[in-house]
Structure 1
């Protein structure tokens, strides 16, 4: 009976002393959003080199997400099994600045707004050039048309010729058409 009691006491004490086990995770690249999580690197420089290969160029670090992972590990210090902390990266600077700005980095937020404005200005300039070319093509005799599916799932049809440009948009909720006389 004494042996059984001693064995039970040893087993109970052995259960109290445990070492935390960190799960093994492979480095992960999400192609849909160009997001990279590097779990198997000792330093930021090593992780940066791996992430650059995933992006085929320069990857942009998001240290705020690494900090969140480290805070999570600190909060889970009494857990027996935990997920590892990762170095997080994205392939596009604008996306990195957006995420970092969401976590309160004012410099990144300002850079994101600057990049966003530059992208918007370029799209406006390109749209004006495209419309100028389309307006010139619409003056020609004949009738031409093109149709494309937009990212939101709607369909846009553009028709031009004989001095008129028409654009039609159709979606699940309906559609509309507008026309412009290019000579006005």
Structure 2
């Protein structure tokens, strides 16, 4: 229905191929595999996922790899704004959670962090159990995720067999 859409998608897939080639060529072996962030790969999970795809021994061609990389990045980014909105809404809606989060941040960074202009350390915040719990609950309640599911036992729904 939109002929240019295919061209746009093809351009994105070509860009993903170039990005992956660059990441592989410039990968820093001193960055641990379990690191949350990698200078070339970005999110550490992307680097680890790439290693898993490498282990499939040629199951995916470059075009297929680029397509699934594009889908993953698209889905990760499509949840950023709704997840951020709902996270903030949930925190502000509960005085108890808001105060607990403020206390956690002040405990880790010191009082007056907001007015000092000092930047928060994202790694410390990502590893904070309370912030992780609120984020996980926010995702569970409000944000759509693209998770592959497998039916373990056949089930009939009207005329469809799952």
Q: Which has the larger radius of gyration?
A: 1
Please identify which structure carries the higher helix content: 2
Please identify which structure carries the higher strand content: 1
What range is the shorter-chain TM-score in? Answer: under 0.3
TM-score by length of 2: 0.28
